[in-house]
Amino acid sequence: MVVQFVPFLTVKKEIPPSMPQQVHVGSILISEWPQLFGLESEPYLGRWSVVKALDGFALDREIRAAGWNFFFIASEVKVMFFGAIGAKKIQHALNRILGKVSQQHFNGLEVTGIVAKRFLGLPYAIVSAHPRHVQRSCYLDGAEVRRSSDRPSEMRQGPEVDCASTVSILRSEL
């Protein structure tokens, strides 16, 4: 028996072992990241995997310790579906969100909300997420550069930028 916590709602549901890992608020999905970080992940949808045992903050610390940067993109992506919350419906909603994120060539996603609601007695839910992106440079690459470096082997060849010295230079100019 798995108990899934969703803000304002607790759902108890038997989940067959063949189903993909449960996704919850705070889950991080990754797409073909380099093995530099030693992350444990499980396949979720297509080329996307769910990071196990780490939230966004812990994952950010791991990535920065390896000399990379983990960007949080402020624009939120939301998808709504009718019916009660279930693992399959959340997976379908995330598939729609991942389609939007993939078009922008981001290589990560953080689930930031799964909320059940009712309108005129009809249940529906809203799944929201923020794109995340891992790259070596401390400056977020444009969409064209991200598109050309979608493969992990090319991610390793990114430019070396000393972000710490850049920050200290900017602070001294203020």
- The whole domain housing 99 covers 2-10+21-173
> At residue 134, does pLDDT exceed 60?
yes
In a domain, 30, yes or no: yes
How large a percentage of the chain has pLDDT more than 90?
34
- Mean pLDDT (whole number) for 19-36: 77
- Asked, for residue 56, whether it belongs to a domain, the answer is yes
* Neighbouring C-beta atoms of residue 96, cutoff 10 Å: 14
Distance CA 174, CA 169 (A): 9
Query: What integer pLDDT is reported at residue 146 of this predicted model?
Result: 76
Amino acid at 127: V
Could you tell me the pTM of the whole model?
A: 0.72
Domain membership flag for residue 16? no
Q: Report yes or no on 15 lying in a domain.
A: no
Counted domains in the chain? 1
Alpha-carbon gap, residue 112 to 116, rounded angstroms: 14
